[in-house]
Amino acid sequence: MSDKKITQQHHTTFENIKHSDDEGNEFWLARQLANVLEYSQYRHFIPVIERAKEACINSGQPVADHIEDVLTMVDIGSGAKRQVEDFRLSRYACYLIVQNGDPAKPVIANGQTYFAMQTRRQELADDVKFAQLSEGEKRLAIRNELATHNKHLAAAAKDAGVETSLDYAIFQDHGYKGLYGGLGNKEIHARKGLKKSQKILDHMGSTELAANLFRATQAEEKLRRDGVRGKQKANQTHFEVGRKVRLTIDELGGTMPENLPKPESSIQQIESAKKKLTKKTGK
């Protein structure tokens, strides 16, 4: 089975075990998730949940909002059922759980991509202020966030052995090639019809920028989490993260980043217009 089909199968499985309460809130049950994540026994899954609780606290989130003790019914054979202890998990809790899982297992790796992207999508959807922004304002917001995360990614890459400017350019190119189906910086640059001095990130719409932001944040996390060492391994890691993001976009029915339209205005033009408006209105 191809990697794409395996990813789609896993993502479909995560969707199939998703529940919704009477208020429309989605959640997952720990015992079902443990089974999907291929834990041989539920007791081996408990320490992962405990680590997720710690991570939740460290991120400043109330544990009770994401991991709730519940009782569920399980089959014990011959049509009989019994009540067992379980946990009701939010999407964010699932994200923390898979981040603490074994990334060598394909189902864990795909779970990391699935829950990370779903969490990010929900964060954006829940952010009323963000939703009310114009396309230009969204682009500015994501571009600024991406600039910050690219610095974090560069630091993580340096720790992994990506030291020179040329090394980092090659490292970045691997991420783009994974996300853009083999297209590197030069190919994307040419596809957008940009001048040599223009940067591709400054000529992306909010959707394309969001995909690249997700690539950058996940690549940084994976480099640090897996303790990646060596330029080649770092490059391959970045490529694989980009490829996973691409597969997830495909699974969700989205448009591939290379097929998204190029905005009429650049980030610099938006910033200039914003400054002129601020000066004019005094706000």
pLDDT tens digits for range 173-200: 999 999 999 999 999 999 999 998 999 9
pLDDT tens digits for range 130-155: 667 788 988 988 898 888 889 989 99
| pLDDT exceeds 50 at position 53 | yes
| pLDDT exceeds 70 at position 68 | yes
* pTM for the predicted model, two decimal places: 0.59
Number of neighbouring beta carbons within 10 Å of residue 273: 12
| Claim to verify: residue 40 and residue 166 sit in the same structural domain | no
Supply the DSSP string of 153-197, one letter for each residue: HHHHHHHHT--SHHHHHHHHHHHHHHHTTT--HHHHHHHTT--TT
Tell me which residue range forms the domain holding 140: 127-271
Both tokens of 193, joined, read: 């019809």
Tell me the three state secondary structure of residue 47. Answer: helix
Query: Which range, of 62-66, 74-78, 212-216, 267-271, averages the lowest pLDDT?
Result: 74-78
Confirm whether 280 is domain-assigned: no
| Claim to verify: residue 132 and residue 71 sit in the same structural domain | no
Distances (CA, A) of 128 to 84, 124, 140, 205: 39, 8, 16, 19
Tell me the three state secondary structure of residue 62. Answer: coil
| Claim to verify: residue 142 and residue 262 sit in the same structural domain | yes
pLDDT tens digits for range 16-36: 888 988 888 889 999 999 988
201, HSE (Cβ side, Cα atoms, 13 Å) = 16
Both tokens of 66, joined, read: 């994401």
- pLDDT number for residue 6: 45
| Claim to verify: residue 151 and residue 247 sit in the same structural domain | yes
Distance of CA 227 to the CA centre of its chain: 19
| Claim to verify: residue 163 and residue 37 sit in the same structural domain | no
- pLDDT number for residue 149: 86
| Claim to verify: residue 62 and residue 163 sit in the same structural domain | no
